[in-house]
Structure 1
Amino acid sequence: MPMAEIPLCVWRTRGQSFTFRGQSIRYWTAGQGTPLLLLHGFPTGSWDWHYLWGPLAQRYRVVACDMLGFGDSAKPVDHAYSLMEQADLQQALLAHLQIDQPVDVLAHDYGGSVAQELLARHHEQRANIASCVFLNSGLFPEGCRMLLLQKLLLSRLGWLVARSFSRDDLVRHLTRVYGPCTHPSESVLDDFWSMLAANRGTRVLHRLAGYVPERLQHRDRWTQALQGAVPLRLIAGAVDPLYGAHMVEHYRRHVPTADVVLLQGIGHHPHTEAPQQVLRHYLAFREPAQGFGSLKVARF
């Protein structure tokens, strides 16, 4: 199946907008069939999914947005950003698109925490989630490791760190979480910076970083939601220093009959580092009868 790249300049032309609580949100949708909601990570945006977008749209109705404070969506300066509100945003987007059937979710990093909140709401009968696949996400706060950047953004000087944040800073921190042979090109790094810098996004980085303590606040409720709510799979880049093999061990301890795919040599961004593998294992999870296989654990 082709894994053609969608250039960021083209991706942006295909976006649409809707208003969420007075703020403009950019979103994308394509394909037909059962709805598949894609949730991006920190600190970029939905363009992260561009390798998988076309292949997934051939099978499902894919939906993604730049969450509030990210990408090309609004980035209000004095806003109290929250994972809870981002989950509200996802439900508002689905309502805007008149999607009221069960939704499958594919989530990465920050989006994984939003997905956990949606799973908790499903457990509480306030959302309708059919399945969820996580890519390298901080599912258990006791297993999370933070970059120096995250620690600085959470400090009392976080506002100053955010305002002085540059492309060089982004490159320095991002390249530390990739696999040894899968580093992004300078062009991709330019595009990551373009998403972050849009709408003067560096001004809100320290506010967005509040998701780190928020994970701890909701830890028990979110862990309970992982235990038998809907079909789950974790596809993890093994050498991710943030949420790699060590997070997989936490997942196995807390999730009965854990369904895990561990990608050797892959870092924090498996959907851009190894999109062919991610696609294959995602389809194996969704469509095992189609011959994609259904291994509980795969190592490469």
Structure 2
Amino acid sequence: MTALLGIALQDWRGQGQSFTFKGHAIRYWTAGAADAEPLLLIHGFPTASWDWHYLWQPLAQKYRVIACDMLGFGDSAKPRGHAYSLLEQADLQQALLEHLAIQGPLHVLAHDYGDSVAQELIARDQDGRIKLGSCVFLNGGLFPETHHPVLVQKLLLSPVGPLISRLFSRQKLAASFAKVFGPHTQPSARELDDFWSLIAANDGTAVMHRLIRYMPERRVQRDRWVAAMQATTVPMRIIDGAADPISGAHMVVRYRELIANADTVLLEQIGHYPQTEAPAEVLMHYLHFRDRLEAAACSDVLS
């Protein structure tokens, strides 16, 4: 499979733009034709939208791609003492779409923490508060009962969370990522440097123990989100790194139990970050999904 050329972090940062959300500066990126179908990419914890850099240009050839560093992440504002919330991050995504004057049917590609934001958008689609065209999930904790957090996440949630947050380092990031990436697709030293640069920007380690509150919030919203996923007519697919100990093959088993006619793809030997570990495979399976939707839409028009 042809390797995809990524975007160097310095170049990526140079392409970013800013808007204000609730008084906070948010960095965002767009690419592709203004009249193309909008595709919103939602990143995970603890990284940022640069996670999508291998897929960015290939997707922009077909769609209008949009991504932001969510509040508390990457090069966006990281306010101290803030009560970070997945629901607020969904508000942020909708505010970005409004800022860009993007309307109706929105396609979503999400990962990890971003999966939870996408679940909230599916629930809002059910409520008529947004119109989604499709949603594809990469590895994430869609169901709290199948989410297996790593040690540092458990510690961040504990009473010593503020201390763990402050002590988090590039070395600790490397140790955590070594456990969740696939055995043959480990991040390079340069990639780890870049991931760390985004986490550490704007004194980011000071808020990690606040960002991690998404884990109990997932439990609070679990039944509402799962009910929305079971009732929705929005086409969904999972593209999942099977070797991920956090939300790998075991999460897909649960997805198939709960979601009728589940559309799932397992990437063997790939871990928690399939968009950087196996970007060409993710791109292929994503485009196949979208091509099938387009073919079905054409068939409906002709029938």
SS of match in other structure, 1:287: helix
Structure 2 equivalent of residue 298 of structure 1:
none
2:84 aligned to 67, 81, 102, which one?
A: 81
TM-score between both structures, scaled by the size of structure 1: 0.95
**Contact 2:111/2:137, CA 8 A, preserved across alignment:** yes
Counterpart in 2 of 1:16?
17
SS in 1 for 2:175: helix
Sort the Cα spacing of 1:290 and 1:254 in 2 relative to 1 into closer, same or farther, 3 A. Answer: closer
Matched, 1:244 2:245: no
Once the two structures are superposed, the pairs formed by residues 147-186 of structure 1 within 5 Å of their partners are 147-186=150-189
Alignment of 1:93-242 (within 5 A): 93-229=96-232, 230-242=234-246
The answer to whether the 8 A contact 1:2-1:55 is kept is no
Q: How far apart, in 1, do the equivalents of 2:156 and 2:216 lie?
A: 12
Using the TM superposition, give the Cα deviation of residue 100 of structure 1 relative to its aligned residue in structure 2, in angstroms.
Answer: 1.2
Q: CA deviation at 1:288?
A: 2.7
Give the letter aligned to residue 53 of structure 2.
H
Query: What is residue 27 of structure 2 aligned with on the other side?
Result: 26
Distance 2:140 2:237 in 1: 12
Shift of 1:137: 1.0
Q: Tell me the distance in 2 between the aligned counterparts of 1:161 and 1:44.
A: 17
Q: 1:289 to 1:203 in 2, by over 3 A?
A: closer
What secondary structure does 2:283 align onto?
Answer: helix
Residue 283 (structure 1) aligned with residue 287 (structure 2):
yes
TM-score computed with the length of structure 2 as normaliser? 0.94
Answer whether contact 1:3 1:54 (CA < 8 A) is retained.
no
How far residue 289 of structure 1 moved from its aligned partner, in angstroms, is 7.9
**Inter-partner Cα distance in structure 2 for 1:127 and 1:174:** 34
Q: Is the Cα contact below 8 Å between 2:80 and 2:207 reproduced in 1? A: yes
Which ranges of structure 1 fall in alignment gaps of 5 or more residues? 292-300
State the distance in 2 between where 1:199 and 1:135 align: 27
Paired letter, 2:291:
E
Superposed displacement of residue 3, structure 1: 1.6
More helix per residue: 2
Is 1:39 the counterpart of 2:42? The answer is: yes
| Matched-pair contact (CA < 8 Å) for 1:121–1:127 | yes
Q: By how many angstroms is 1:102 displaced?
A: 1.1
Aligned length: 291
Q: What CA deviation, in whole Å up to 9, does each residue of 1:23-61 have, x standing for no partner? A: 000000000200000000100100000000000000000
User: What residue identity is the alignment partner of 2:287?
Assistant: L
Distance 2:171 2:68 in 1: 26
Displacement, 1:163?
Answer: 0.8
Residue 2 (structure 1) shift: 6.5
User: Which of 36-45 and 163-172 deviates more?
Assistant: 163-172
- Conserved 8 A contact 2:241-2:271: yes
Identity %: 62
Which consecutive unaligned segments of at least 5 residues does structure 2 have? 296-303
Encode CA deviations 1:115-140: one digit per residue, 9 max, x unaligned.
Answer: 00000000111111110000001000
Deviations 1:49-96, CA, capped at 9 Å, x for gaps: 000000000000000000000000000011000000000000000000
Query: How many Å separate the matches in 2 of 1:220 and 1:289?
Result: 28
Cα deviation, 1:263-283, whole Å, max 9, x if unaligned, reads 101000001100110000000
| CA–CA distance in structure 2, aligned partners of residues 228 and 280 of structure 1 | 27
**Which amino acid in the other structure matches residue 94 of structure 2?**
Q
Q: Secondary structure at the match of 2:284?
A: helix
- Secondary structure in 2 matching 1:85: helix
